Amino acid sequence: MECLRRLLRRSGEALFLLQLICQHNVARLAQTLGNDLRKKLVQSTFHQLVCSEDGDQLAMRLISALMEVIQSPSCSLLCQYESREIASATCTFSILNCSSLGQ
């Protein structure tokens, strides 16, 4: 039961991350990734994002890219609010270990 709860929580966090990405320029964020990660972003499924080490690395890199955009000098107060939301997502993503979820 605990495993299912963690899987559902991780899935919700992945959906939240994807929602945040959609609110920003996805192409600009993708440009900040290396070629390998960009290919993984294009080819990844939701399952891979939630339950694989590659998905975890991709999520962390996307969160970093979002933080860079949000912390840019042209950022508004809305971005500062989103920054706190992303920081929360970052903490949660780093705490959960996908390998313990079972695939």
Model confidence band, residue 95 (pLDDT cutoffs 50, 70, 90): very low
Q: Please check whether residue 73 lies inside any domain of the structure.
A: yes
At 41-77, the pLDDT tens digits run 889 999 999 999 888 888 998 888 888 877 766 554 4
At 24-49, the pLDDT tens digits run 777 777 777 888 888 888 899 999 99
Number of independent structural domains in the chain: 1
Q: Please check whether residue 75 lies inside any domain of the structure.
A: yes
Q: Please check whether residue 103 lies inside any domain of the structure.
A: no
Do 13 and 93 touch, CB atoms closer than 8 A?
yes
pLDDT, residue 86, reads 54
Q: For residue 14, what are the CA distances in angstroms to 19, 74, 77?
A: 9, 27, 24
Domain with 35 in it: 2-96
Q: Please check whether residue 101 lies inside any domain of the structure.
A: no
Residue 98 CA to residue 16 CA, distance in Å, equals: 17
Residue 60 CA to residue 77 CA, distance in Å, equals: 23
Q: For residue 51, what are the CA distances in angstroms to 11, 35, 64?
A: 9, 22, 20
The pair of structure tokens assigned to 33 is 């990734």
The pair of structure tokens assigned to 54 is 């590659």
- The model's pTM is 0.64
pLDDT, residue 74, reads 58
Largest CA distance in the chain: 45
pLDDT, residue 45, reads 93
